[in-house]
Amino acid sequence: MPHELQMKHTADGRAIIPSDRCDLLSHLAEDDEDTRFLSPTRHECGDIAGLAWADEIAENVTSNISLARSEAAWNGNVHTPLLDKAWRLSALGTSTPWENIRPAMIEPIRLLPESTSGDPLSSKEANFRITVVFSKDIEIALARCGVDPLSQSTYEPLRFSPLAVSFETKLPGESWSEANRQLNTWVLAQVRELKELLQKAGRPDAQIPALPVVLAQGEEWKFLYLQVQPRSAAMWSSVPIGQF
């Protein structure tokens, strides 16, 4: 199935639960069409969390909204446990870990995109990331070839862990335009870093794949991706992929 159609199915809640876990749909009303949620191949992506755990996260969401808690609180009691649970249950295992990268800034400054006036934009950061892990031998070989770092930041945990998915969080009701601007700045810097790496590798014309981004705004999660063309880039948004 094409990736675009997979994302649309996810947004519609289709095929998100293994067929042998239909007990998770016991809370649905009798007239709900529960078969659209089920898939015989869902386990290929990994296991899923139980209802008790999901109810606990949902309670944190309700509490955060009613008490108008901070972004840090949302990150601590909703987004972090969700990311950690997804990682632990994923079929990909430890090869794609997640990490809080709030301290990471875009460096060096040449990677910063310019404003319409031609001046570099201010550095932006993402809250979390999912990366690809290389062996220590590959890290040493890359460093010997002058490929260091592998991301748009000199933050040590990102040096040899290329970003697979960038993850930004915002509070409910915060400006979408500001979130979009922050994400664009961060991911466009990643594009510049990738182009530099391709130049070093002698493959300047190689196609850069679409770069995925997840925006969590309170209890709503949305999927976006940056499509890179030879002379332009466009952020495609936004497919809802979950809500508590």
Mean pLDDT score, 85-113: 86
Helix (H, G, I), strand (E, B) or coil at 141: helix
- Category of 69 on φ-ψ map: left (φ > 0), alpha (ψ -120 to 50) or beta: beta
- Note the pLDDT tens digit of each residue in 114-166: 765 556 567 677 889 898 888 888 888 887 877 777 888 888 888 888 888 99
Q: Is the pLDDT of residue 31 over 60?
A: no
Q: Is the pLDDT of residue 56 over 90?
A: yes
Write down the pLDDT at residue 184. Answer: 84
Structure-model confidence comparison of residues 13 and 64, the more confident one: 64
Mean pLDDT score across all residues of the chain:
83
pTM over 0.75? The answer is yes
Domain ranges of the chain: 1-48, 69-243
Distance CA 107, CA 152 (A): 6
Write down the pLDDT at residue 103. Answer: 86
